[in-house]
Chains A and B, each alone.
Chain A
Amino acid sequence: MNDTNFEPRIVGFLCNWCTYAAADTAGISRMRQPPNVDIIRVMCTGRVDPVFILKAFAEGADGVIVSGCHPPGDCHYNNGNYKTFRRMPLVEALLAQYGIEKERFHWGWISGAEAPQWARLTREFTEQVCALGPLNWKRELESKEE
């Protein structure tokens, strides 16, 4: 499914203090990034309920990014990123059970100072999801409901 016109939809859950700031700086600094990533700001990646990730896929996302502050010590809330660190492997396992490729889900750390890394991540992850093609999970779910 390598449709050249395919534009993946990617949802990014970014923590307010680090990766959201990096994305902001990347924008201010006019770094080149694809427009496929839609950002939802949360105060901390520790706030990211696995349900949000499933919801994003269910609504039609082709990929999801969760990114916050570098452990150890960068977290604005002392250790929220550690909770993410514990939760996200579980989410990965859960997605595998639904048959969603692990390449569609990225979680990691980008500090407020690492705007170039954010721009690079958006470029590379968009490429990666694009190569996988559309997920169409929403259509599948709807057809099952019918």
Chain B
Amino acid sequence: MTGSDPAIVVEGLRKTYGGKPALAGLDLTVPQGTVHAVLGPNGAGKTTCVRILATLLRPDGGRAEVAGYDVRRHPDQVRYRIGLLGQYAAVDEELSGRQNLEMFGRLYHLGARRAGARADELLERFGLTGTGHKAVGQYSGGMRRRLDLAASLIMRPQVLFLDEPTTGLDPRGRTEVWNAVRSLVGGGTTVLLTTQYLEEADQLADRICVVDHGRVIADGTADQLKARIGGDRIEVVLRDGGQLDAAASVVGLAAGAAEDEVETDADRRRVAARVENRVAALTETVRALAAAGIEAEDIVLRRPTLDEVFLHLTGRSAADGAAEETADDTKDHSKDDATDHTTDHTTKEGAGV
């Protein structure tokens, strides 16, 4: 692989499970040293894609190259050049952090001495030096994730796959992982990241592709996508549902939105509109509501949710698509419920394959 070749090339990738297509001709190109986010709901094919690229699954059709090697023909060459951080911690829970890293180092054929030295290096880098003999099973979620990430980096991989790296982490654990990813990219690693959260893609990725039903349906930088989706939104919940129409015109005016862009929800006494300038819109809305004598129970500014991206791009809800594709997969996973993420998925994609 020379300096200008892409780190990941995927062409027409297909994979079917029991007659249902998980990937239906996925295309993807990731330049070296960049972060590419694959955004989509559960069941969109994100995990399937990562598992094929990490040589864990064989595709039914299409081509995939990682770090210049075909994943089907030269899996071992690929394996020496990648790191994988899956949805669930891929470390031995009964061993200590150091025992884990040393074991993986030996299995990468570093030899006992170098495996040990690399383990110590990584423990220090990820702030796990003091963990000593403690079994990983007793680590906090954030610590386990950091160890998992450290294990993915033993070989200083050219390409790092992160499959929903922050699902199930608390906000602090998420920040830890985000910071670690940022520092890696500074070192020249190419990162392919899957996520359900637009915010995560926004924070980390140079480019985002939105995946649905195993295909890329939109592709661009975070700003480009957000422009297509419609930017931030302001939501006002009223004390008195009878004032809904009055509030709609006040909010629309204050937020600078056209009349048909203001949504109202009588059941929840809610008015919502897209905004261009977050702070100005909020200030103006609060002032205008007070001036009109309309009492608000709650006012929030928020980014578009994945559901709204989906609604915009496909004309249907992301949750519907997920339910349809993973109906036979009931494995639960706990998710963090950060304020921005209002989509609620109870199924998980690609489990048990």
> Are A and B co-members of a single complex?
no
* Chain A residues packing against B (C-beta within 8 Å): none
Using a CB–CB distance below 8 Å, which chain B residues touch chain A? none
